[in-house]
Amino acid sequence: MISIKSDREIALMKEAGKYNVMVLKAVEKFLRPGITTKQIDTLVNRLIHEYGCEPSCLGYEGFPASVCVSVNDEVVHGIPGNRKIKNGDIVSVDLVLSYKGYHADATRTFIVGTVNPDIESLVKNTQAAFYAGVKEVKNGARIKDVSRAIEKYAHDHHLSVVEELVGHGIGSNMHEEPDVPNFDDGSNIRLKTGMTIAIEPMLNLGTKEVYLDDNDWTVKTVDGLPSAHYENTVLVTDTGYEILTGD
């Protein structure tokens, strides 16, 4: 069932979104060659609690960390550990936190040091694909309008779209109905004022094909080429949208 949020619920999600962005900005400043992905998780966990929030990912279906940290060919759900960040890495930080029972979900892919132009374009165009999609959000629009815009932008920029993973509704649960694909799956579900959704393009430099790592969490590209991820929690309004995890 798709939920329409009350004014009270929207206010709580806006607070959650504010704190989510604050944590991601702290991570961006902290990122540098030599730190481990576990150190990122430690920072995130500490800040989430300092802001009076809870880490939504920690323990979710057994996930062992407060944040997903995915590097280079890791599309999503990277488990923080002893891996050291290197110059030239791209690091996707997927953060979900809750404030008084309401969740906000956002992802940023950060460039560490210097990367080649193709990878830099991948990161920039994944963010731009999100904005191409979110422009379609308004009361009465169909989800496939959003999906089609993301897919077209990606393909116009010679990037492939991961199809096994999609965006989703969000609110008092981290994952709610409806699904929000990054490709046109023909969904005729209409957006309505008060819906809150996570829109999250996951685009690859090479093939769209992915596989699940032996840890049963991390999704990687089959060809080993980089993947980028950009996500925000979005409120549907009468005339358009509001990004609750905006910069």
pLDDT digits (tens, 9 = 90+) for 119-145: 999 999 999 999 999 999 999 999 999
Q: What is the mean pLDDT of residues 209-225?
A: 98
Q: How do beta strands 210-212 and 202-204 pair? A: unpaired
Euclidean distance between CA atoms 20 and 44, whole angstroms:
10
pLDDT digits (tens, 9 = 90+) for 1-36: 899 999 999 999 999 999 999 999 999 999 999 999
CATH class held by domain 7-243: alpha beta
Q: What is the mean pLDDT of residues 194-212?
A: 98
Give the side-chain half-sphere CA count within 13 A for 183. Answer: 12
What pLDDT score does 111 carry? 98
What pLDDT score does 247 carry? 77
What pLDDT score does 118 carry? 97
Q: Does the pLDDT of residue 186 top 90, yes or no?
A: no
Mean pLDDT of the chain: 97
Partner residues linked to 104 by β-bridges: 97
Euclidean distance between CA atoms 70 and 231, whole angstroms:
14
pLDDT digits (tens, 9 = 90+) for 40-94: 999 999 999 999 999 999 999 999 999 999 999 999 999 999 999 999 999 999 9
What pLDDT score does 187 carry? 85
Percent of the chain with pLDDT over 90: 98
What pLDDT score does 205 carry? 98
Phi, psi for residue 61 in degrees, rounded to 5: 50, 30
Q: Which among 120, 222, 206, 111 has a CA at the least distance from the CA of 158?
A: 206
Between 188 and 209, name the one with better pLDDT: 209
- Which structure tokens are listed for 241? 């949208």
Partner residues linked to 196 by β-bridges: 235
